[in-house]
Chain A
């Protein structure tokens, strides 16, 4: 994919329809890398379990970062864990996305002011695509976030040259 990425002009009908197909595949097969760090992980498990069933969207848990598409950072990102998150994010294969779930991952949450040990938002170390507010968010909110990510991926253009 690397040699073809962003090499074509965007107004070509073939390129745009190819982009559509690629985005369809990517948005419908979001294998998530489970990064359960705190109580939000319980909600992530609940979302994957029978009542809400994240697999309806084609999302499958993978435990190896190499095979995952989206990293679900669910929970309090301590400073010690932050380096690991960064490293595992770097180990993921492109295209990769990050969903930050819950107040702690979004901005430090309850620890944003006085937490000496908590990273103030996971977006300080990895680029975050979707923020899901909540403490912890309900499973519906996580599904909503996943659908937002699908919308975002469908708007992408991986073949067309970037506008810069």
Chain B
């Protein structure tokens, strides 16, 4: 993508005087800026969405008074945080205290370098993309320990230590569950992983229901791997129910106790960037990335109709119990179906892989993370370790073997030769 962008800039009239190397560097910086803007906007939107989701799940309303339906709430929050006093405690380590948040932000920001947003749209198309994303997002723990230690505050240090133990432990289930998918596709390149999930086939290979060829529908073992990945990734990005590093009721705010104003905003930014990376990686490895769930025009029309029928059944089922129900979801799906039947171009666009599909899938996973967060209570530290080492790790290991057996059964690999 960088090279294509640079050569396009060289062909462009006003920029043709640039050499190849400066053009490449310029393209890199522009892409980096674009991703940074994405990260910032992502946090801005997700904070609002999270507050609204939490409020709705608690029979509340959430932010209502800043802008229409409180939409400008996070803008006000961000502006206020920018203008707040920046406190560095007297006995804190001045350098590490300043560097810590930036390392955390950097680690979550750099992970976007290998994330494919669309066919051909990946900042750096590297052959070890999956490995790169997983490893670079664990650099976060260095920043967390750094800021926790530098704060010279016992709560911060406790939080940092817990975070280190947690992230290092949960790396292993994450790696093993991703390895199950890698064993199927045989590559670490994220674009190739997505490309391998194209088309529509049978559910779990044998059940004759047309389902997209995503890895979560590939086999029961990969379905389990997807669940394990989601759980372990929730722990890795320090979100509830695994938020013991910043548990507000035990440690005041964990490793960010001593941070105020803009430095604390950086933590916030990186938290949501991390959540976005995890959601995108789930979408890429298990949900087919930018692949459309529909194969072609007929598939799109058929798929939309089955979606409408499912939504109708669900609505009738829920309406039976609930007095007032929002008609917007079912209305949207119905309208889309009608449009897909009236305009074949729209149906074809629906069947085309692209940015919109990875955005929808990532959004669904992020909503799932929020759903977890506002439902589950926090785990104790020993329970956390128990879950990682005694539940997720054995299951992931057995699962990996199961994937191999499944592939042998379905004929994807043969024991001879």
Contacts and interface: CB of A to CB of B under 8 A. Distances in A.
Contacts of B259: 66-67
Given A1-B83, A28-B76, A29-B80, A58 B65 contact: yes
Nearest to B55: A55
Contacts of B258: 64, 66
A110 interface: no
B248 interface: yes
A64 B252 contact: yes
B70 A66 contact: no
A24 B75 CA distance: 10
B61 A56 contact: yes
- Chain B interface main SS type: loop
Nearest to B73: A58
B86 A29 contact: no
B99 interface: no
Interface in A48-62: 49-50, 53, 55-58, 60, 62
Contacts of B64: 56
A50 B87 CA distance: 34
B62 A56 contact: yes
A26 interface: yes
Contacts of A58: 63, 65-66, 70, 73, 76-77
B385 to A, nearest CB: 25
Interface in A20-73: 21-22, 24-26, 28-29, 49-50, 53, 55-58, 60, 62-64, 66-67, 69
B264 A28 contact: no
A64 B66 contact: no
Contact of B62 (A22, A55, A66): A55
A50 B55 CA distance: 8
B79 interface: yes
A67 B264 contact: yes
Contact of A28 (B51, B60, B66, B257): B66
B152 interface: no
Interface in B246-265: 248-249, 252-253, 256-261, 264
A58 B74 CA distance: 9
Nearest to B83: A1
Contact of A66 (B65, B73, B87): B87
B79 A93 contact: no
B87 A28 contact: no
B260 A66 contact: yes
B83 A22 contact: yes
Contacts of A95: 84-85
Contact of A64 (B58, B84, B249, B257): B257
A56 B261 CA distance: 22
Main secondary structure of the interface of A (DSSP, over half): loop
Q: Which of B60, B61, B64 has the most CB of A within 10 A?
A: B60
User: How big is chain B's contact interface, by range?
Assistant: 35 or more
B65 A93 contact: no
Contacts, number: 92
A156 interface: no
Given A53-B55, A55-B63, A56-B70, A26 B80 contact: yes
B342 interface: no
Contacts of B79: 21-22, 25, 29
B253 A67 contact: yes
A55 B73 CA distance: 10
A5 B72 CA distance: 25
A57 B252 contact: no
A93 B58 CA distance: 30
B65 A56 contact: yes
A94 B61 CA distance: 29
B325 interface: no
A64 B77 CA distance: 16
A28 B71 CA distance: 12
Interface string B317-361: 000000000000000000000000000000000000000000000
A55 B60 contact: yes
B416 interface: no
User: Which among A28, A63, A91 has the greatest number of chain B C-beta atoms within 10 A?
Assistant: A28
Contacts of A29: 73, 76-77, 79-80
Contacts of B58: 50
B59 interface: yes
A25 B65 contact: no
Given A50-B60, A57-B65, A63 B252 contact: yes
13 contacts: A24-B76, A25-B75, A28-B66, A29-B77, A50-B60, A53-B62, A56-B62, A58-B66, A64-B258, A66-B253, A69-B84, A93-B86, A94-B85
Interface of A: 1-2, 21-22, 24-26, 28-29, 49-50, 53, 55-58, 60, 62-64, 66-67, 69, 91, 93-95, 158
Given A57-B63, A63-B253, 20 more contacts: A1-B83, A21-B79, A25-B75, A26-B80, A29-B73, A29-B77, A49-B60, A50-B60, A53-B55, A53-B60, A53-B61, A56-B62, A56-B65, A58-B70, A64-B256, A64-B257, A66-B264, A93-B85, A93-B87, A95-B85
Interface of B: 51, 55, 58-66, 70, 72-73, 75-77, 79-80, 83-87, 248-249, 252-253, 256-261, 264
